[in-house]
Each structure stands twice: as C-alpha cells, then as structure tokens.
Structure 1
Amino acid sequence: MKEKLKTALLVLLVTSSLIQSYFLMYRLPGSDSIAKSATNYIKTDDMGPEERAENLIYPDRMIIHMGGNKHTIFYPHSTFYNLIFSRLQARSFDSFQRRSIQNIDINELRSQNDGIELTFASGVPVTLLERVMQIQPDALFQAEQINRIWIYNVKNESKAHALFFSTEGGVVYEAGKADLTAQDVQQHVDFGKQWTAYTSTKGSYYIPEVDIDVMEVEFEIGVYTTEQMHRSLFFDPSITRNIREKDGSEIYTDSKRSLQVRQEQKWMSYTDPAALPAGESSADTDVLAAVDFVNQHGGWNGEYRLSVVGSGEEENGVVFQQYYGAYPVLDTPQFKYGVMTLNLQQGTVSAYQRSLIYSKPGSVSKKMKKLPGGDDLKAKLKNEEIISAIVDLYPAYQPSLTKKGMQLTPVWAVKLQNGTVTVLE
C-alpha cells in the first residue's frame, strides 16, 4: 500500500513539474503564448493608452443650415456638436436608394433648407459608420465610402430626408426610412441660431462673419524613448544593430525591419517591407488592423480622429489626425507632430510613422486668442495668390516646441485643390 502511495505521489510530482516547465517556457502570466511567429510583436511597455476604433470615427465638423443662406459650424467635442451627434447616433437609417447627384440642387439645399451636414474629410467606409450610427446593412450601400451626410427638412413635409454622399463622384444614397421627424431636425437647427454666423463661399468653404475666439495652449510634454519603441516593434531586440546617421537620426534594423528615429523632430518611422500578407484586405479591416497595431505599439498620445482611408495598387494608407479640443493639430514639414500614418498590405502593417511626444498631466496655461473673421479674413484670402485653388478653410493649431514643452497656436488652415494644407499668415 505504501509503495502504491509513493508511486502515485511520484507521478503527481513529475506531472506538476512538466506543467510548470511548459508555462515557464511558453507562457507569461496574463499574456498569450510567447512562441509567436516572426510577423507578430510583444507589447513590452505600457506607454500611451489604448483606444477603440469607434471612438476614432466622427465628423470633422457639423454645418448647420438655417435657411435664407444662413449657416453656422460646430466643431468636434464642443457642447452642441456632442449633443446633436449623440442624438443622431440613436436614430436609424434604412432602405437606401441610389441617386445621381445631378438630380439634387445642392446650392438650393444649402441656402434654403433647414438641415444638418456632417462632413468626414476623405471619407469613411460604410461598414465602419455602422459601428457608430444605426445604419441597417445594405449589400450595395455597404461597399461605399461616405464623406458627407446631409439631413434636412422639406417645406410642408413631416419626415426628414437623409442623404449619404459617396466618395465616388456623382453618387448619393437616400435613406428611404430615417427615424427622424422634421421637428427633430428643426430642434437641432435651432441650436445654431444664437451661434457665430458663417457665409458660404461657392459652397466650398465657410467664413465667419466676426472674429472667433480660440484658446492658445501651452503644456508640458514627455517623449517616448528610442529604447521603448525599439523593444515594442522588434520581435527580438537583441538581434538588431544600431546605425547612427550623419543627420543625427538613429536606425535600428534586424535586416528585415527598420526603425528610424529623428531626434531633432522627435519623430519615428518604422518599416517592415517583408510583412507577410495576412489574407484578404478591405478598407474597414485595414483601419481596424491599424488601430490594433497602434494599441500594441505606443498607444495614443492624445485625441485622434480617423482622417484618411486611402487605397493604392498594393498598399492602403490609414491616417489618424490629432486634435486638441475642437480643432486639429497641423502636421508641417518644419515640425512633424499632428498625425499617425500607417501603410498596410492585406491587413498587415508595412509602415508606421508617428511623433514620440505626448502631453504630461499637470500644468496647462491657456489664453484666449482671436482668429480674424468677416472682412478682415476675406481681405487676407484675397491677398493670397492661391485663392482660386482653395477648397476648404478651418481653424487649426500650429504646434511648436517651447522651454516649457509645447505651444499650440490658433491659425486658419487652408486646404488646396491638390490636397496640400497651408497656414494663412
């Protein structure tokens, strides 16, 4: 009997030892297996916070049309913007019908009809919009990217109309069923009646009739270290070699991937040209893959919005625009800061660019500045040789480094027909 007990105890000890060895070799507490393929990475540092894709998808502005050629604009994170958008997110849109934009008088719609226009810059895939709005699935409609949603009233009609504009020129979808009454729309439009009045310029951009108040901000910053990004982006950092360039930048490479850090601008660029395709690719899956990648490799150093979902012959580009409060932070050749850019091949990230700067919690100094409006702004625009090429005008922040950390200066940003953005001096 004693011998049987000894044998059973010995078997139990050996089994326990084998199990413990397995966990020591292949697992870490609270993590997945560390025996990963060469295309995966280990998150080693808790750097910036993670984010959900749904929180990165929202309009870059909300234009309120009040009839009689009267307009105002609400920008992201402002009180009325948040209130109206949250209410629209609770409404359903269904039974989409494809229409030609040629059959819609946009100028009359803009100048005479009460309505709410949501703009999404270069466009958002419908499958991603479905994550933030109650859009009922529709096979034809789901293949589109939408850059504008226009909800408006028609005189003597009790139901509101809802148009979804495709990035493919000339294509518009109307929701046959929209869970909105004319009274709902009118209530939202009324929020804009006491707000800053804007005039439309050929339907391309809007000019405030008076100066607008925008906060200038200065705050302390921290910088993610090269070592942090190195550990985060390479499967085995010990096999990489370090190269110092004459311009002061550092390059880490394992002969496949490379990480370049520009110390002067506190900017990093990572490439993985040997990234293995993960399978079928689409705009929405690429965005989700890009969000996951940033979550795992650096996190989010501020407030961001999905700005660009572009398609190329071999790669898709995804750009996230950084915001401070209601306005975007500009990315300039002189100071790279305001965007995160990722390129993907069939759902796998092949390039990743971002700033290493993040804002520290603590002291923030603010003071009110005025951006010119009305005749002063019109005069400045007329002095620009590029006035005929302007397609958009909006308040933005121009970043610069200071002794304290970073300063965000309010400016008018001017977008041109070729896609470039300049600052109106």
Structure 2
Amino acid sequence: MSLEKAKTIILTLLVLLSLLLTWLIWNNQPNYDLLNLKDLDNIAIAKEKKVPGIILPDKILYHENDGTTGTVHDGEISRVMNLLRTWTFDMSSSRLLQKKDLYNLMYGKNRIELDFPAPVPFSVYQSVLNFANKKVPDADFDHIVIELNKGTKNLNHVYFISTASNKVYEASTDQKSIQVFISKLNDNKSLYKPYTAFALSGPRRIYLPAGNPVVNQYKYATTDIEIDKFKKALFADPNFVKKVAGEYTNGISLLRTDESNKVLTFVNPGEDIGYSSDPNHLLTRAIDFINQHSGWTDQYQYFEINERENEVTFRLFKDGYPVFNDDGMAEIREYLGKSEIYKYVRPYFNLSLNLPLKPAAVKLPPAQDVIAGLQTNPSVQMNKVRDIAVGYRLQKDSDDILSLQPAWYYCEDGIWKMAGGDEDGLE
C-alpha cells in the first residue's frame, strides 16, 4: 500500500470519527430546562414574600379631639392595611407646604396617621393599594393621613405625605369605607394606648407612648441555614466555587461567613456601583433579589433606603418593634449594582423556638426621661435626632440561644443607637 493511499484511509477514518462524536453530542445533550428548574427548587432558602408583607407602617396614631392614642401592634397594623386595600384612592392634586403647615395637616384632630420607617415609592405601592388613576405620582411618601370627618360629595380626604420634600399628594375615597374603618377601629380600641407629643426641632413633633412602656422580653433557640444553600443561590455556577480559608469563591465573587454571629457577606466586585438609581427601581430590585432564592426568614420588613449608596435595608421585627444588633444579626442589607447585586449581608439562622422566660415583661423608663437624657448628653446632636422608638436589642446568650431585650432607641443622622447606660445619660 502506498503512502498516499494510507493517508487517505486515515483521513477518512478521522472524518467519520468526528461525525460520530458530533452526532453523539447532539443526541445526548442534557435537558437544561429541567436542570434549571431542579436547581431553583434546591435553592429555596425559606419563603417568598409579596410587597404587602414587606412594606408596612411601623406605627399608627389616632389623633382624636381629646388626645392621641397609638399602636405598633403588628396584628392591628396588618388588619388596618388589609382594610385600606379594599378602598379605591382617587389622586387629585399635589402641593408644596411650609413645614409648619405640613405638620399641622398631619397632627390635626380626628384623623388617622400611618407612619412608615422609610420613603415608599407610589409605583411600588400600586401592588398594595388600589389607585383609580392609571398613572400615579413619580414620587414617594412616608406618611398616610386619613381624615375621619365627613367630607363633601360622600368623599373623604386621604393625604400621602413626604416629609423630606414637604409635599402632600391629595386623594379621596368613598365615605362608606371610612365609616366601616371607624367602626372596626373602635372594635380594637384596647390596642391603642395613650401617646404624648414631644418637640424635637422646629415644628416637628414625635409621638411616643405615655408613661412606662411595658414590653415582653424573649429568648429563642436558633436553627442554622446551610451555607451550601446560599452558595447555590448566589453563584451563577456553584460547580466552579471553591472553598479557600473559610471563604467561597469562583475567582470573581466571594462569600464570607462570620461563624460567631452567623452572618454572611456576599460580594460581587465586578458590579458597577457608581451609577444613580431611583427609590422605585432600588426597592423593587432589592425585594425581587431576595424572592429569587426565597430568602425571607422570620419577620423582616422594609426599614431604610440610601439612594447615594444604592442600599436597601430590611429589619427584623418582633411584636411590631424593630430589632437591633451591632453585628448585623437583625437585618438584611443589600447594595445594588447596575445589573446585579454588589453586596449582600444577612444572618443565616432562623429564630426557631421561643423559650420560657421569667419575668416575661420589662418596664422601660418613660419617654420624657429618655429625651432628657439625650438632651443633656454632649455627644448627641438633638437637631440631628430624626426618631425615637422602643425596640429590641438582640443579644447572644450562647451559640444557639439569643435573647431579645426591650430598650429605647434613637436615630441620629440616619444611625440607630440604643439610649441607655452612661453613654446616653440613662440608667
């Protein structure tokens, strides 16, 4: 056999082998759709939540003719919001007010005031409330004020107020809805306790519980969430993720765990964070991101937004009170990149079992003592104190046991701090 003939035979065999391999690849491809669905099932951390269960008021005030009562009771807040979801709001006008006039509108007699902890974009809340208008304002609000006095043409006024921009967005709703609302409100009057107004700076008032608030304390056993679930949820392809010195990385993104506090940090440094966004876009993306891996554990609610940092925070709540912890054990914090998440910090545990505790309730100092302590503390700038509230301090008792201790908190220049001890003038 000649050399040329041998070359021809070998070349022919190679071509046939190539065709065979190509055919095998085409006919033995895995069903990626099925694989993706299976992967999605595997990365469900806890549960999904819709906007009505995430963006809620943290306080309801009832300004009556003879004083103000209020509640932070989570069951009552949910009940009130469910009632509002049956109404139709017809947006009519907007106006810019002076601070004094704005607060007079909020604190007037015979009206309900719903306070939100952070600005709420109208476009996001369209999935919660029924607006008659096809187009809602391209704006946000942090208070809803409902006038209970009878209006004209069988309609009552409802005001959506932005205290940051001093703007009021006026709407109307059916008077029958208000009458049902008042009836239901009176049925649950025992949940509304006396509140006292305090002046902080300028015309703004802050309403706090009168007397000594009595709040339950709790102790919980915790259950860890497997880090492997977060690895599958957060990395595009978990198969390329390696564990190096206690950290997970695919060479681009990084997942780090604080095992002492059971808090994880996921960083995607390739994301562009130097872009500008609006609250609607930020908040929608932040909620969607957690829903993508069913990441809602315990009762986390929308609490803060920082447009400059593209940052959204969801805080743990218990019995309607916000929970705080200096090590990030009581919050889910997101920094949104231009197209994907840039940074994600959150606990990887659940509060699983409520342990018996005696005494179950704690009596806190009255609000006036808290404010007096802050006013005499040289390290506190009262003109920068935005809010004061009763909350919980989450403490570690052991690796698997946490306690929730009632305490007063104040927000100074956007940062929440505990009022108590020598630091803030309270004992």
Q: Is the CA contact (8 Å cut-off) linking 1:65 and 1:189 kept in structure 2?
A: no
Deviation of the 1:52 alpha carbon: 2.3
Deviations, residues 223-244 of structure 1 (Å, cap 9, x unaligned) = 2243332233223334334343
Within a 5 Å distance, the mapping from 1:190-339 to structure 2 comes to 190=186, 191-192=188-189, 195-202=192-199, 203-244=204-245, 250-275=246-271, 283-297=279-293, 299-312=295-308, 316-332=310-326, 335-339=327-331
Q: Is the CA contact (8 Å cut-off) linking 2:73 and 2:191 kept in structure 1?
A: no
Within a 5 Å distance, the mapping from 1:16-415 to structure 2 comes to 21-22=28-29, 24-28=30-34, 31=37, 44-68=42-66, 70-78=67-75, 80-102=76-98, 105-137=101-133, 139=135, 141-154=136-149, 159-166=155-162, 168-175=164-171, 177-180=172-175, 183-184=179-180, 186-187=182-183, 190=186, 191-192=188-189, 195-202=192-199, 203-244=204-245, 250-275=246-271, 283-297=279-293, 299-312=295-308, 316-332=310-326, 335-360=327-352, 362-366=353-357, 367-373=360-366, 376-377=369-370, 379-385=372-378, 386=380, 388-389=382-383, 390-403=385-398, 405-415=401-411
Q: Is the CA contact (8 Å cut-off) linking 2:370 and 2:408 kept in structure 1?
A: no
- Work out the CA distance in 2 between the residues paired with 1:75 and 1:137: 31
Corresponding residue number in structure 2 for 1:7: none
Between 283-292 and 89-98, report the one with greater CA deviation.
283-292
- Work out the CA distance in 2 between the residues paired with 1:193 and 1:240: 55
Deviation of the 1:280 alpha carbon: 11
Deviation of the 1:59 alpha carbon: 1.1
Deviations, residues 202-240 of structure 1 (Å, cap 9, x unaligned) = 243223222222110111102224333223322333433
Q: Is the CA contact (8 Å cut-off) linking 1:101 and 1:171 kept in structure 2?
A: yes
Deviation of the 1:359 alpha carbon: 1.6
Larger radius of gyration: 2
Relative distance call for 1:207 and 1:103 in structure 2 (3 A) is closer
- Work out the CA distance in 2 between the residues paired with 1:222 and 1:340: 17
TM-score by length of structure 1 reads: 0.79
- Work out the CA distance in 2 between the residues paired with 1:419 and 1:410: 21
Relative distance call for 1:320 and 1:336 in structure 2 (3 A) is same
Identity percentage over the alignment? 21
- Work out the CA distance in 2 between the residues paired with 1:167 and 1:374: 23
Q: Which amino acid aligns with 2:288?
A: D
- Work out the CA distance in 1 between the residues paired with 2:140 and 2:329: 27
Deviations, residues 127-172 of structure 1 (Å, cap 9, x unaligned) = 1111111123354x43101111111245886643211113651221
TM-score by length of structure 2 reads: 0.79
Deviations, residues 47-84 of structure 1 (Å, cap 9, x unaligned) = 3222223321211211111134x212221513x33332
Deviations, residues 228-275 of structure 1 (Å, cap 9, x unaligned) = 32233223334334343xxxxx33222211112122222111111324
Superposition RMSD in Å = 3.2
Q: Is the CA contact (8 Å cut-off) linking 1:113 and 1:154 kept in structure 2?
A: no
Relative distance call for 1:59 and 1:375 in structure 2 (3 A) is closer
Q: Which amino acid aligns with 1:265?
A: N
User: What SS does the aligned partner of 2:124 have?
Assistant: helix
Q: Is the CA contact (8 Å cut-off) linking 1:310 and 1:318 kept in structure 2?
A: yes
Between 389-398 and 190-199, report the one with greater CA deviation.
190-199
Corresponding residue number in structure 2 for 1:9: none
Unpaired runs of 5+ residues, structure 2, are 1-23, 421-427
- Work out the CA distance in 2 between the residues paired with 1:338 and 1:96: 40
Unpaired runs of 5+ residues, structure 1, are 1-16, 35-41, 245-249
Q: Is the CA contact (8 Å cut-off) linking 1:146 and 1:167 kept in structure 2?
A: yes
Q: Is the CA contact (8 Å cut-off) linking 1:43 and 1:232 kept in structure 2?
A: no
Q: Which amino acid aligns with 2:197?
A: S
Deviation of the 1:94 alpha carbon: 0.8
Relative distance call for 1:272 and 1:77 in structure 2 (3 A) is same
- Work out the CA distance in 2 between the residues paired with 1:350 and 1:31: 25
Relative distance call for 1:238 and 1:29 in structure 2 (3 A) is closer
Relative distance call for 1:172 and 1:204 in structure 2 (3 A) is same
